[in-house]
Structure 1
Amino acid sequence: MTFRRLATSNIRGSWHRYSAYFLSSAFAVMIFFVYAAFIYHPDVVNGNIRGGDSVQKMMVACEYLIIIFSFFFTLYSSSAFLKSRQKEFGLLTLFGMTKTQLRRLVFYENMIISSLAILVGIGIGTVATKLFLLAMSRILGVESPMRFYIDSSAIILTVVGYLVLFAAISLFSLRKVGRTQIIDLIHSEKQPKTPPKFSWVLVILALFSLVLGYGLAFVTNIELFIATALPTIGFTVLGTYFLYTQLSVAIIRLLQKNKSFYYRRTHLLNVSQAAYKMKDNARVLFNVSILCTVILTATATFYAFDQGMKQQTLAGNPYVFTLGTPKNDIPVLLPELVKGWGQDDGFKVTDYAEVRHVRVELKGKQFEDDYTGMISVSDYNRLADILHTDQLSVTGKEAILVNQSRYGMYGTEVMEEPINEKKYIGPMKATINDTEHSMVLQVTKRLQQSVLDPGYYGFNLLVVEDPVIDQMYAASPSRTARTIQLYNWSNWENSIKLEQKIRDHLPKEGSYSITSRVEMWNDYRHATSLTLFIGMFISLLFFIASGSVIYFKLFTELQDDQAHFRALTRIGLSIKEIRHVVTVQVGLIFFAPCLVGSMHTIFAMKTLSNLLMTNVMWYALIVVGMFVLMQTIYFLAARRTYMKKILEEVVI
């Protein structure tokens, strides 16, 4: 039998051990290939799509990230495979295989798996590229979808890059093969395990570190972020490490002392085995927990920004389209034209209002603002009908001050100290900018409400009676008085063409201002959706890797567990009880880092909420829930394979 046939036979016989590594590697190759196909696409290279250059740079950065991930993942996987096969290597050496031949065999096995992963990854990537290009065309706003095209450079880069990577890591890992004595290799799985021990000092340190890290995350805000960011991460990482190496063992020891619990049904087996499992796998569980935290926090952050952008756009732009023109009897844009264009394109104009706005300077005993707008109460109430808010009422020289500056990222009020409204109540002098015309008004109330775009029309609006605005509007020069047209129409997210028609109709020269929710939303969607879409693949890759690491560790101890359960069946343990014990042990290894990483993420998102001054915890819970669901599916698949291998030995 040749080495190649022997290597192929070994792979077929131990496919359950190689499957997770193979699938993870193939998935990494697939993502790398899809990104490479986009980078070398002619439309991107020739600059035929808007934003293609920035997207290309983002893709290149992701390619480096994937290669770095593949290096460490493959290195760990190779080491795990070699460690789990020490007895096999000892027997082959005993039968006369030299160290060189043994290393050659292992190299052939690794390269066969790697080559298959490259071929399968490129094959699936070819199909995925078509869908990827369609999705990118929609995100980038390309009128005609990018044609399906795969440049040979993408294939060459993927094949050569990963062949070199896999070969280099395989050669690096082979240094450990053949260095151990034959007797040690054969008896490597029979070395007695020492009972897990712990230190109460380190247990207290673990609790202290986690509580302190979570506490800092809970109270961190913009002012404290620089001082608390690194300590928060440091204490959380330190607490996580001692959680697995010390605190978990201490908890299990306390459970063992609870006799009523410990000696009930299969609890004795579950608890006693859990102590060894947690201690032996402490480093792996620690690394996976930190990896899960990074994945979940990054994904939840991207998701929060993506979902929050629409709410921010709605809060900052109460109307789909706003046109402000200097005081003029002849409107620049007729509403009938907009309604007709909208009807032609399938958009129904649902709201229209025309508002007169005067820019004034307010001076009072405790208030001064050089940029304040003034509108009539009737105009305000028309806008209130559109916005579904409370209407106002003023008489004579009364006025109500409406503040629009306290609305946060997602349309909710930012978390600031309550405003002392009495400070703004009283007589104020309103002067038309650049003129001597003024009027003394009595401000009777101050409220918070987003009415007009504060970027153009001021953070404060003074609502006055209609005769007052008539007088002020007539006395204002054209540069300080404006007529504002406000439009809302259906399906505004996809109405960029309708907006372009309106812009094309406006005079090329003119002193008018435009506020467009459509334009802002498309810019936000382009940035956030693209980042989320690209990052989603990277996060999924890291998720599969974290599950694969646990899978490797699980099957590394398979032969020990088979012997353990075979011995238990001889003393009367039933198949049903074996299934229960296996489910608990496998579930502990799979869900411990999942739950720890989820808890870290919740507190990390609390910090983000404090920094953004708005609540984004709901987005974190959605991402964590999806992660737990995916981890459960991964657990069920691994448990099924693992249970099958255990029962094969037990039934025999």
Structure 2
Amino acid sequence: MVLGVTFLTLSYPYEATKRIVPTTLETKIAKKRPLSTSEIKSFEQKFALKAVDSKLLQLKLKDKWYFSKRNTSDHIDVISLSNYNELMALQHREQLKKLALNEAVLVNYYASLAPVNESFTLKDGSQTLQVKKATNQNPFAFANSVVTVIVSDAKFNELAQKYPNASYAIVSFDGKNMRDNEKLVQAFKKTKVAYFSSYERNKLITNANSPTFLMISMISILFFVTISTILYFTARIEELSLSEEYDTLAKLGYQIKEIRHVVAVENAWLFFPPLILGLVNGVFGILGASYLITDSLTTNWYSRLGQPLLYTIGLFLPIYLLVYYLAGRSIGKELKEYIEPTIYKM
């Protein structure tokens, strides 16, 4: 259980960055585009990436809106449904269905399934967007867009015509196994364009939490060594206390190989019930810890339970079986030295 929670604690920050920075790298483009089309295509070809150019409208609100208890925004970032779904396809996430002309969907800053009933009145008072639905699937890094509102393509075109000076763009780059690609970040720095990357975010979280990770890992290793040592010496004490009974088996004609088989079965009853109970305990322990550590609304079951269990079993089981084997081997050697002289005397 401790080992599983350790893996959960180590792996979850990487899962969390998938919401904080959902694409490998993204950059906010002003009216005067500092990143040319040829540069975008060059990055796509060199690093096997796909780029999505998103057009947004940053519209001022009549009244400030609290997107959290303490934080407010004086504007909303409007994106069209087709553009949003293109980003969801790039990020391999669920897309939204068709929206009515006056229907809008709010991207939740905090993961929440609470019903939404918000109206955003624009600063000039001529437009009001009514939000009845919300999603936790944010298309952009929160540093680039906090209050994102998704509208139908028809509504977006209507707003774009009315507020032509409110438009700006965000270019999102993504590709298979590219979230931790340092070379991409180093190459993009040369463009002198501001950006947000998953690689740098992961690196920041790892460096900031390395003392915590080290402490948790050391506690896990300590438990691991303690349990293995207890089982090893318990097996030796239990089995060697039965030396006289094994000696009797030898006198009755049992071979050393057969006696070792008996020892292996006896040790199995000592080692495997705790293993099974430990796995059951670990499942419930990791599941309980996941509700304290992870965001259960935006992470899947594999991230919360499957991955920690897979890593735990992959590391723990081979070492556990090795301790079982070494204990049986050690007992077998000692029993052989104890039994054979008796057999020879006969």
TM-score tier after normalising by the smaller chain length: 0.7 to 0.9
Q: What is the CA distance between 1:442 and its match in structure 2?
A: 5.0
Query: Which residue matches 2:172?
Result: 486
User: Structure 1 residue 639: deviation in Å?
Assistant: 0.7
Which residue of 2 is the match for residue 458 of structure 1? 146
- Equivalent position amino acid for 2:199 in 1: V
Give the SS at the match of 2:127. Answer: strand
Aligned counterpart for 2:159 among listed residues 462, 465, 469: 469
Tell me the alpha carbon deviations over residues 229-265 of structure 1, each in whole angstroms, 9 at most, x when there is no partner. Answer: xxxxxxxxxxxxxxxxxxxxxxxxxxxxxxxxxxxxx
Per-residue CA deviation, residues 34-74 of structure 1 (Å, 9 max, x unaligned), is: xxxxxxxxxxxxxxxxxxxxxxxxxxxxxxxxxxxxxxxxx
2:247 counterpart of 1:566: yes
After TM superposition, the structure 1 = structure 2 runs for residues 243-642 of structure 1, keeping only pairs within 5 Å, are 296-297=1-2, 299-326=3-30, 328=31, 330-340=32-42, 343=45, 346-361=46-61, 371=73, 372-388=76-92, 389-390=94-95, 392-394=97-99, 396=101, 398-405=102-109, 407=111, 418-420=113-115, 423=117, 428-432=119-123, 436=124, 438-441=126-129, 443=131, 446-464=134-152, 465-474=155-164, 476=166, 482-489=168-175, 491-506=177-192, 514-526=195-207, 539-540=220-221, 543-556=224-237, 560-570=241-251, 572=252, 574-575=254-255, 578-611=259-292, 612-614=294-296, 615=301, 616-622=304-310, 623-624=312-313, 626-642=315-331
Q: How many residues align?
A: 322
Alpha-carbon deviation of 1:531? 6.9
- Provide the rounded CA distance (Å) in 2 between the counterparts of 1:342 and 1:390: 23
Is the contact between residue 399 and residue 463 of structure 1 (CA under 8 Å) also seen in structure 2? yes
Give me the whole-angstrom Cα distance separating, in 2, the residues matched to 1:542 and 1:563. 34
Q: Is residue 85–residue 96 contact of structure 2 (8 Å, CA) maintained in 1?
A: yes
Compute the RMSD of aligned alpha carbons. Answer: 3.7
Does structure 1 conserve the Cα–Cα contact (< 8 Å) formed by 2:44 and 2:51? Answer: no
Task: Quote how far apart the aligned CAs of 1:497 are.
Answer: 3.8
Secondary structure in 2 aligned to 1:454? coil
Q: Partner letter of residue 308 of structure 1?
A: Y
TM-score by length of 1: 0.43
Conservation of the 8 A alpha-carbon contact between 2:57 and 2:160: no
The DSSP-based 3-state class of the residue aligned with 1:484 is strand
Distance of 1:537 and 1:387 partners within structure 2 = 36
Structure 1 letter corresponding to 2:12: G
- What's the offset of the Cα at 1:305? 3.0
The partner residue of 1:647 within 322, 326, 336 is: 336
Letter paired with 2:138? S
Matched-pair contact (CA < 8 Å) for 1:313–1:520 = yes
Structure 1 residue identity aligned to 2:149: L
* Alpha-carbon spacing, 1:586–1:532, altered in 2? closer, same or farther (3 Å): same
- Aligned ranges for residues 203-242 of structure 1 at < 5 Å? none
For residue 642 of structure 1, report the CA deviation from its aligned partner. 0.9
Note the C-alpha offset of 1:599.
4.0
The answer on whether the counterparts of 2:271 and 2:324 sit within 8 Å (CA) in structure 1 is: yes
Q: Structure 2 unaligned runs (5+)?
A: none
Q: How far, CA to CA, are the matches of 1:491 and 1:618 in structure 2?
A: 20
1:475 deviates by: 5.4
From the superposition, tell whether residues 538 and 632 of structure 1 become closer, same or farther in structure 2 (CA, over 3 Å).
same
Residues 356 and 379, structure 1, Cα contact 8 Å, conserved in 2: no
Contact kept? 1:493, 1:522, Cα under 8 Å: no
Query: What whole-Å deviation, never above 9, does each CA across 1:422-457 have from its counterpart, x for those lacking one?
Result: x45xxx45314xxx3531345565544322223431
Instruction: After TM superposition, give the deviation of residue 401 of structure 1 in Å.
Output: 1.4
Cα displacement (A) at 1:303: 1.4
The answer to which structure has the higher strand fraction is: 2
Asked whether the equivalents of residues 399 and 444 of structure 1 are also in contact (C-alpha less than 8 Å), the reply is yes
SS in 2 for 1:483: strand
User: Under a length normalisation based on structure 2, what TM-score does the superposition of the two structures give?
Assistant: 0.74
Is the contact made by 2:232 and 2:324 (CA closer than 8 Å) also made in structure 1? no
Instruction: Tell me the SS of whatever aligns to 1:492.
Output: coil
Give, in whole Å, the separation in 2 of the partners of 1:470 and 1:560. Answer: 85
Q: Which has the higher helix share?
A: 1
**Which amino acid in 2 is paired with 1:350?**
K
Matched AA of 2:27:
L
* Alignment partner, residue 62 of structure 1: none
Q: Which amino acid aligns with 2:144?
A: Y
* Distance (whole Å) between structure 1 residues aligned to residue 222 and residue 134 of structure 2: 52
Quick one: distance in 1 between partners of 2:99 and 2:140? 19
Query: Any idea what SS the aligned residue of 1:324 has?
Result: strand
Percent sequence identity is: 20
Q: 1:445-470: per-residue Cα shift (whole Å, max 9, x none)?
A: 55443222234312441424233231
| Whole-Å separation in 1 of the counterparts to 2:49 and 2:317 | 44
Q: Determine the C-alpha separation between the residues in 2 that align with 1:546 and 1:390.
A: 48
Unmatched segments (≥5 aa) in structure 1: 1-295, 408-415, 508-512
Structure 2 equivalent of residue 293 of structure 1: none
d(CA) in 1 for partners of 2:187, 2:219? 39
Does the Cα contact within 8 Å between 1:349 and 1:488 map onto a contact in 2? yes
1: CA distance between counterparts of 2:47 and 2:210? 24
Aligned residue type for 1:431: L
The 5-angstrom pairing of residues 8-157 of structure 1 reads none
Distance 1:402 1:555, change over 3 A: same
The 1:568–1:384 alpha-carbon spacing in structure 2 relative to 1, beyond 3 Å, is: closer
